[in-house]
Amino acid sequence: ERLGQEIPGDASVVKLASVVENPADYDGKSIVLKGTVSSICASRCPFIFQDGVHTVAVYPRGFKLPKMKRGDAVTVYTEVIAGEGQTVYTALGLQL
C-alpha cells in the first residue's frame, strides 16, 4: 500500500541512527527511511517509527495514516527539520 507522494526510486535509504546522531546534516532534506512501526496512536497521527534501537514520531503530511500494527515493515519518504533539541519527521510518502 502506498500513500502520499511517490517514494523516489533513485533515493538512497538513510539509517535512522545517522539522522539521530547528526540531525543538522539532514535539516530541510527529504530522505528515505526503512524500518518498522513501533506503535501508533488511536487517531493514527503520528506513528512511532523504529530502525534498530532508535525510534521517532513521524507525522503524515497530506494523507491520513492507514491502519497499521506494531511490527509492520514500512518505508517512509520523510522531510527532516532539525530544531533546538528536537527533530521533526514529516512523512511525505509511505509504503507498507
Q: Cis ω on the peptide bond leading into residue 66 (within 30° of 0)?
A: no
Report which of 53, 3, 66 is spatially closest to residue 78, judged by C-alpha positions. 3
22-79 pLDDT tens trace: 999 999 999 999 999 999 877 767 899 999 999 999 999 999 888 899 999 999 999 9
Flag whether pLDDT at 88 surpasses 80: yes
Give the per-residue pLDDT at 70.
93
The CA-CA-CA angle for residues 85, 65, 31, to 5°, reads 50
